[in-house]
Amino acid sequence: MAIANQLVVISGGSQGIGRSLVVAFLEAGFAVATCARQADDLARLGQDMAARFPQAALHTLPADLSEHAGCQRFADFVLGLKQPLAALIHNAGAYQPGRFQDEPADGSALRASLAANLLSAYDLTRALLPTLLGQQQGHIFTICSTASIMAYPNGGSYGVAKFALLGFTKSLREEVKNQGLRVTAVLPGATLTRSWAGVEAPTERFIASEDVAAAVLGAFRMSPQTVVEEILIRPQLGDF
């Protein structure tokens, strides 16, 4: 089957790592479906990709995946395209640094971080998993973080959510490995995206989002009998 007839689903594709993933898979010849919270960001993405890849198929939908209804709406949109699912890449999330002791006592910070960084991946996976299992092939990626494997002083609820996302990924891999699906966790360190706006550091201290996308594409292109379970990426000069 021609790869142009295969669909790669990327959540949170309008900026940062997500945008670089969209570019990488469109450039590789795949059709791509993506979502983001802001319709304006998606419109700009569509315009840019149409100019860069005139023959490419990019499908976009505004959706907030921190809400279950948003995940279901995006999943319905994807399934409505009626194309084989080559990959599902969970990139949607939200970074909010802070300390537990400074967070609201009602637990709203943790619940919001879990909704954005963990439940978005869980709900979208559950919605698309029957199709992937029916195909007996496909590759699921979760964009985790180095915060998934080590605690940071100002990590707070974000760190909890990213640890949980890695745990979800490992459990999912074990569950579906005998059903033709590959599952990979991607753990980038500080990557040059909007999340680091205002931080005074030279660009060479950051990972380029294009490098994260290249690593994902490389793992995806391996043979079906091989899975890269985790991709750990850090700045050359180390974390900061």
Tell me what pLDDT residue 240 has. Answer: 76
Tell me what pLDDT residue 202 has. Answer: 79
- Pair of tokens at residue 221: 């292109």
Give CA torsion, residues 237, 229, 154, 106, to 10 deg: 170
Cα–Cα nearest to 27, from 56, 5, 51, 3: 56
Tell me what pLDDT residue 233 has. Answer: 96
Tell me what pLDDT residue 47 has. Answer: 97
Q: Is the pLDDT of residue 60 over 70?
A: yes
Confidence band of 239 (pLDDT split at 50, 70, 90): confident
Tell me what pLDDT residue 192 has. Answer: 76
Cα angle, residue 170 at apex, residues 75 and 1 outer, rounded to 5°? 50
Q: What is the pLDDT of residues 11-57, one digit of tens each?
A: 999 999 999 999 999 999 999 999 999 999 999 999 999 999 999 99
Confidence band of 113 (pLDDT split at 50, 70, 90): very high
Q: What is the pLDDT of residues 129-185, one digit of tens each?
A: 999 999 999 999 999 999 999 999 999 999 999 999 999 999 999 999 999 999 999
Q: Is the pLDDT of residue 77 over 60?
A: yes
Distance in angstroms (rounded) separating the CA atoms of residues 113 and 156: 10
Q: Is the pLDDT of residue 104 over 60?
A: yes
Tell me what pLDDT residue 201 has. Answer: 74
Average pLDDT over residues 211-221: 98
Cα 57 from chain centre: 19
Tell me what pLDDT residue 146 has. Answer: 96
Lowest-confidence region among 75-79, 103-107, 190-194: 190-194
Confidence band of 198 (pLDDT split at 50, 70, 90): low
Tell me, letter by letter, the H, E, C secondary structure of the chain. CCHHHCEEEEECCCCHHHHHHHHHHHHCCCEEEEEECCHHHHHHHHHHHHHHCCCCCEEEEECCCCCHHHHHHHHHHHHHCCCCEEEEEECCCCCCCCCHHHCCCCCHHHHHHHHHHHHHHHHHHHHHHHHHHHHCCEEEEEECCHHHCCCCCCCHHHHHHHHHHHHHHHHHHHHHHHHCEEEEEEEECCECCHHHCCCCCCHHHCECHHHHHHHHHHHHCCCCCCCCCEEEECCCCCCC
Domains of the chain: 3-233 (3.40.50.720)
Tell me what pLDDT residue 36 has. Answer: 97
Tell me what pLDDT residue 1 has. Answer: 56
